[in-house]
Amino acid sequence: MCINSLFFKVPNAHIFNLKNERRWQVDISASTYPRADLVKCEGEVCSALDFRLSGVTCAPFLQHFLSVADANPKQASLAWYLAELGLMDYKLVGVKASLYAAAVVHLMRQTLLPQNTPPAGSSAARTVWTDALRHYTHCAPSELAATATLLHGCQKRAWDGSYAAVRNKYARAEKFHVSDFVACLPDDALQFYDA
């Protein structure tokens, strides 16, 4: 592929992306790009991606699980913060999106509701992981342990330089300063037990 064709494909790929996201607000009727070139570019992009144009992310699962958990805006902000921190960790790349979102909600609830975390072996474990969450996530707390522990590690490393952009984003007032004011649980405080 020559350099000229690479520069040509960037705007076309952007237009192709907008078209596929059904946000077709780009006016190409002004003959900015010839139709034949756009069709050719669409074919090349589809071929390069093996026609896998979209993928499952944790976002719709997280939104649904937060509504099931009846999360307030601060809790939701912390959950999105944890989710974005985890996206930067290669160890979490292969985790199913639904399991990832469930682990985020579990860690968020343990972090913000530590007084509701019962002692190990107690039958009151449902205060952190409710029957509704168990039903909608199809996960027991023990199934979330590995993923939530990795997410907790990301939360502990949030002050490293590689996480600065995410940390700064969630340090703003509209995000309830969750990256600054929410204390990370100690390792021994994480509990994953089934009721």
pLDDT digits (tens, 9 = 90+) for 143-192: 999 999 999 999 998 888 888 899 999 999 999 999 987 778 888 778 88
Gyration radius from the chain CA atoms:
21
What does the block give as tokens for 111?
Answer: 């972090």
Our CA angle for 67, 132, 98, nearest 5°, is 65
State whether 29 and 111 are in the same domain: no
Residue 27 lies in a domain: yes
Number of domains within the chain: 2
Tens-digit pLDDT profile for residues 107-136:
999 988 755 545 555 554 447 889 999 999
State whether 71 and 107 are in the same domain: yes
According to the per-residue pLDDT averaged within each range, which of 35-39, 75-79, 117-121 is highest? 75-79
Structural domain boundaries enclosing 85:
59-189
Question: How far apart are the C-alpha atoms of 79 and 24, rounded to whole Å?
Answer: 31
State whether 103 and 41 are in the same domain: no
State whether 31 and 65 are in the same domain: no
Confidence at residue 7, expressed as pLDDT on a 0 to 100 scale: 40
State whether 134 and 183 are in the same domain: yes
Q: How far is CA 52 from CA 19, 99, 100, 129, in A?
A: 15, 22, 21, 35
> Which of 17, 108, 34 lies closest to 26 in space, CA to CA?
17
Q: How far is CA 128 from CA 9, 64, 109, 142, 180, in A?
A: 49, 17, 6, 13, 23
Report CA torsion sign: 81, 139, 61, 45: positive
Q: What is the DSSP letter of 157?
A: T
Confidence at residue 159, expressed as pLDDT on a 0 to 100 scale: 84
Residue 195 lies in a domain: no
pTM of the model: 0.71
State whether 124 and 103 are in the same domain: yes
State whether 155 and 131 are in the same domain: yes
